[in-house]
A and B are shown apart, each in its own frame.
Chain A
Amino acid sequence: MSNARQDIPACAAALPRGHRNLLRLLATQIELRMLLVILVVMFVLSLISPYFLTVNNLLNVLDQSVVVGMVALGQTLVILIGGIDLSVGSLAGVTGIILGLSFPHFGLYGGIVLCLAAGAFAGLVNGVIITFGRVAPFVVTLGMMSVGRSLAYVLSGANSISGLPAGLGQLSADSVAGIPVDFWCLIAAYALCWWFLTYAKGGRTLYAMGSNREAARVAGLSIVRWGILAYGVSGLMSAVAAIFLASRILSIDPIGGQGLELDAIAAVVIGGASLFGGRGSIIGTLFGVFVMVFIRNGLNLLNVSPYWQGTAIGSIIIAAVLVERLLSGARARA
């Protein structure tokens, strides 16, 4: 919730008074609820599969959370202002191709910079059209989704790119303090985003405009600038995700990142954000990402057919959001 920061002291003070307060804390703090869900999921999975709680598997889970996590971060900003970005998967695809094509000419860092710039540019284009053209975000980003995927095929000639610089692979191969570098990057990005959303003017502007755009405008907040920037960041994070995706599989395919938008939106929504804007938190999104990744991991461990996994995950998403609605409904009535 947007007010999480201010509410915590009040709730903490209320804690010693017993179970009732603990329940109320759970009812008001979606992050805590999410943590509980994750722990339950982990517990169940560890009962079902002895392999689940092994270091290797957990590292694997962390690894898988990076790509979705990066995209979900940008998506959170967009959903907070009441928008949606469907183009993230395709943008990850096309920026990946740009990355792969530019290595031979500009080197590792040049390629990364170009890739990030392309992602941010596409995102800004989304934002500008949505803001100034007053076109529904759904429509604009749907169009960009198609454009991005098409350009990925055009630029790559529909071939995958391999023979990437070795340095790229180090991002996911190296680890610091036993945790892979790419996961540290994810944590750093989320920490920065949390700071931004909680303590920066821009972050509060995103919440305010998602909650009541007109009120934010009357109060003099720069809704145009931050509205565009939210989409810009979402595009940028797609490019970031493309880099980590390439580093993990050391090959870039024009079909890369397909379906990423759904995972990212699902993670944000499971994390408690309202699709109408104004409500949600970056910590919630991070937990949402974990829930998604754990469940996928668990289904793999259980040898569930990949064809059935879509049904399972889809049902879980709907159920999770439904439960969340019921809980927040109960809170509103309380």
Chain B
Amino acid sequence: MGLLVLRNIWKRFGATQALSGAAFDLQAGEVHALVGANGAGKSTLSRIVSGHIQPDQGEIVLNGTPVRHGGSREAIRSGIAMVTQETSLAPDLSVLENIMLPRIAMPGRLRWRAMRAQGQALIEELGREAGLHLDTTVGDLSIGQRQLVEILKALALDSRIIIFDEPTAPLSPHESERLFEIMRRLAARGRGLIFVSHRLEEIFTIADRVTVLREGRLVEGGLPTRDLGQGELVRLMVGRELQDIYGRGDARRRVPAGRSPVLRVRNLCCPPLARDVSFEVCAGEILGLAGLVGAGRSETLETIFGLRRARSGTVELEGRPFVARTPREAIRAGIGLIPEDRRGQGIVPDFSVRENLLLAHLGAHAGIGLAYGTRTDAVRELLAVLDLPERRLLDANMLTFSGGMQQKVILARWLALSPRLLLLDEPTRGVDIGTRSSIYALLRRIAARGVACVLVSSDFEEVIGLADRITVLSDGVSVTELPSDLVDIEKLGMFAAPRTSAERTHTVLEDLVARHGGAAYWIAVEEERVFCFDRVGTDPAADPGFLAGGFPQLAGTAIAHAVGTAAEGLVAAPDGTHPTLLVAIRGRRGHSFGIVGLTLPHPVPGFDAPAVRARIEAALSEPPAQQPTDVRLTT
């Protein structure tokens, strides 16, 4: 007996048939993913479940009783709630008030004391690590925390069914992981969770079953994810095999040394988020700016583009100092910005597609008139590149477009100006996998034409897949710069971990140096390379051969022998110097969080290696709830 069953659902919007006989069933205690490419109808279907829209035809059975929602309020009453990526919270109210908002809307006296107790109980249910307090004003919370408030709101209504509509889009990988844990816990308590997403990794991580829609039709209903391969799911979604969505094959391009950069940023500081950012990018290169939400990535781009003022630091454009006081100056200098918030900073909803395409042209154009005519050929060419039929140019409402299509139009807006530097802030946020790969292909082509691209993304897989080099930002500081073929998601995550959450490790390192002298560090070793995330201690005699943010060849460091022997105690280099102790750190689910090492300036007789090892392990590997790299949602 299903918790919720939808059968033969049809829905039409104007000329678009959004759903043609879609179906879905949800069991109590499961996470059921609803997937599909752009325009597959997954949002429509989830909005039908949540009562926001009515189906034209079809049957909805809730707990065995056929229902016809009169609207979202009735859906809420029958225990269905929705957690969206763009949250629907009142930013000026407190967490408690927001959680209880539906209660406040009901008639009757408010019992604040009871509500407070219930709110506290709900927070406990969610897990106290969430770091939420009932009295915080929601406007002060991070995006990840706001989402938790939305979940609490759903729980306060005692919702049996919770729909998560692309909840991870604005979250960092660690925040997503935390969210998934919460989702698991909710499912384990008998709730039914609907998870709408197009990130395959996530679907395989969290979902028990998956229903695939394509063009409004049901392709597969309720497939258990464990019987499914990633390639197979993609094939079901897009109807064909998708090989390498980043379209780079094996060839990683390296920009030849000595080429002068298009953009050089030095010690850029734009408080509060961007504090000390340095990087450079050459023509034809894609540079990834990786970091978590709040690491100062968007602020860096906005400062370069003239939307914010830098407090200090320099920006050089093709070797000359450059300060944009307004976006217009940046545009005239050949810079384009694809902003993070497509709806808020990108689209002009009352303009046709054509005028949206030509908006940056209008900004750059100096005359009195529009001079749209001069761009007719460029627009036609771009439409061909974007795969957008020409008749849609005059479509009056871009908001009815899919996220991917909107993003393509905004990309095209800048391409029309032939920029030399393109700043891209989360270009694939809210874009499904089918369209994402075409956006990636487009970006590669843009770079190949000699445009320098700076790509900001929370999706580390995307940064690694797309960028040639990666600059990692952590808490507003550029901590390292790596070729993208040297790193993987885990290492990038450790570099990007905010200093506040890496503090625990840092404290341990400081403690080690204070007790024993020498140098203590947190590293990962892979493919004959050392990646150093943090290092304490400056004694030259104990220099292991790398600094924080460095990634030298293992053979060139002083700890090569120690890594090679993998001994429990101190291991010195073959020449007897640099006695080193290495301790592997494991996370709660057993995966590696790198190695903490201590290198001493000279051999120490009676050094109690097992005791030191035990202390490091006690501090970092356990207890499960507190991991060194576990980013709390309070970033």
Contacts and interface: CB of A to CB of B under 8 A. Distances in A.
Contact of A215 (B346, B364, B369, B394): B346
10 A-B pairs with least C-beta separation: A220-B363, A211-B350, A220-B328, A220-B331, A278-B350, A219-B359, A219-B363, A214-B345, A211-B348, A220-B327
Interface in A3-24: 3, 6-7, 10
B399 to A, nearest CB: 10
A220 B360 contact: yes
Nearest to A217: B327
A208 B351 contact: yes
A202 B368 contact: yes
B352 A201 contact: no
A114 B327 CA distance: 37
Contacts of A211: 348-351
Interface of B: 14, 305, 307, 326-328, 330-332, 337, 339, 341, 344-352, 354-355, 359-360, 362-365, 367-370, 394, 396, 413
A3 B352 contact: yes
From A3, A208, A218, residue with most partner B Cβ within 10 Å:
A218
Given A201-B362, A216-B359, A7 B396 contact: yes
Contacts of A201: 362, 365, 367-370
Contacts of B364: 220
Interface string A259-285: 000000000000000000011000000
23 contacts: A3-B350, A6-B352, A199-B370, A200-B369, A200-B370, A201-B368, A201-B369, A204-B370, A208-B348, A208-B359, A212-B345, A212-B349, A214-B341, A215-B345, A215-B346, A215-B359, A216-B359, A216-B363, A217-B307, A218-B337, A219-B359, A220-B327, A220-B330
Contacts of A200: 368-370
B342 to A, nearest CB: 9
Contacts of B337: 218
A2 B396 CA distance: 9
Contacts of B349: 211-212, 278
Contacts of A221: 328, 359, 362-363
Interface in A205-251: 205, 207-208, 210-212, 214-222
B52 to A, nearest CB: 13
A2 B351 contact: yes
A6 B348 CA distance: 16
A204 B354 CA distance: 13
Contact of A218 (B346, B350, B352): B346
A278 B350 CA distance: 6
A166 interface: no
Contacts of B362: 201, 204-205, 208, 219, 221
A193 B327 CA distance: 28
Nearest to B364: A220
Contacts of A208: 348, 351, 355, 359, 362
Contact of A3 (B326, B351, B359): B351
Contacts of B348: 207-208, 211-212, 215-216, 278
From B349, B351, B365, B370, residue with most partner A Cβ within 10 Å:
B351
Contacts of A219: 327, 331, 359-360, 362-363, 413
A240 B350 CA distance: 31
A212 B354 CA distance: 16
A177 interface: no
Tell me whether chain A's interface is mostly helix, strand or loop, or mixed.
helix
A334 interface: yes
Given A2-B351, A211-B351, A214-B344, A7 B359 contact: no
A332 to B, nearest CB: 9
A1 interface: yes
B396 A1 contact: yes
Contacts of B365: 201
Interface string A265-308: 00000000000001100000000000000000000000000000
Contacts of A222: 328
Nearest to B410: A215
A220 B337 CA distance: 10
From B344, B350, B359, B369, residue with most partner A Cβ within 10 Å:
B350
Contacts of A7: 394, 396
Interface in A179-216: 199-202, 204-205, 207-208, 210-212, 214-216
Contacts of B328: 220-222
A211 B360 CA distance: 15
A214 B327 CA distance: 11
Contacts of A334: 14
A169 B278 CA distance: 70
B370 A3 contact: no
A220 B414 CA distance: 11
Nearest to A332: B397
Contacts of B368: 200-202
From B14, B330, B348, residue with most partner A Cβ within 10 Å:
B348
B394 A218 contact: no
A229 to B, nearest CB: 13
Given A3-B350, A204-B355, A279-B350, 4 more contacts: A200-B368, A207-B348, A208-B348, A278-B349
